[in-house]
Copies of this chain bind each other. A is one copy, B any other.
């Protein structure tokens, strides 16, 4: 299918087999890149996990870096699926002038719950989150897209809502700092999943996390 190397589009009339292979490679790459990062993941490991031979990676993605970028775009698409709806509601509500602290708190609760679900839900999510956090911690080829599509809007929305929850008693920098810390408390749970598992007998972690976040949001809306 791909004659030009890093092609994402389909050929004019529908082949099948190729798309499945492409998806298998992408899944395998997300796991390997997520576990070890760009440099640590080898093309052979990815090919083995995908049950594909080595040149298939070049054939479908143009090379290791193209595959890495394709992973980033896949993650962004998943984020839009999971958080996009809430993000749209938040953006609309922020466009309107008046918003009570209680209304802002309710939106913030929804936003954080959606983020928690996207970041913490079992299975693929942990690899996605590790991938994103690794790229943020040491910027590589996919930094700009992940920052522009995931972190920047996430911080911006959370910060604006936090500022409105706290009314006048919170400048913009503090609101952004609180936003980063609140989101980081979620990503840290994924990065530390091994140590969290050792510390906590974990049946319903997602619910417990959302409850704690709601608690923190409630604390912000009460007068200090």
User: Residues of A at under 8 Å CB distance from B?
Assistant: 35-40, 130, 133-134, 136-139, 143, 147, 151-152, 155, 159, 173-174, 176-178, 180-189, 191-192, 194-196, 198-202, 205, 208-209, 212, 215-216, 218-220, 222, 224
Say whether B199 contacts A192, CB under 8 Å.
Answer: no
Contacts A147-B195, A209-B181 given; indicate if A173 touches B200 (C-beta within 8 A): yes
Say whether B173 contacts A201, CB under 8 Å.
Answer: yes
Say whether B155 contacts A195, CB under 8 Å.
Answer: yes
Shortest beta-carbon distance from A215 to chain B in Å: 7
User: How many copies of this chain does the complex contain?
Assistant: 2
Contacts A187-B188, A216-B216, A219-B216 given; indicate if A177 touches B195 (C-beta within 8 A): no
Q: Which residues of B contact A39 (CB under 8 A)?
A: 36-37, 39-40
Shortest beta-carbon distance from A104 to chain B in Å: 17
Say whether B189 contacts A187, CB under 8 Å.
Answer: no
Shortest beta-carbon distance from A40 to chain B in Å: 3
Q: Which residues of B contact A180 (CB under 8 A)?
A: 188-189, 192, 195-196, 199-200
Given contacts A181-B188, A184-B191, 7 further A-B contacts (CB under 8 A): A136-B194, A137-B191, A152-B198, A152-B199, A180-B196, A184-B185, A188-B188
Say whether B181 contacts A189, CB under 8 Å.
Answer: yes
Say whether A185 contacts B191, CB under 8 Å.
Answer: no
Q: Which residues of B contact A181 (CB under 8 A)?
A: 185-186, 188-189, 209, 212
Shortest beta-carbon distance from A68 to chain B in Å: 13
Residue in chain B with minimal CB distance to A172 = B200
Shortest beta-carbon distance from A63 to chain B in Å: 18
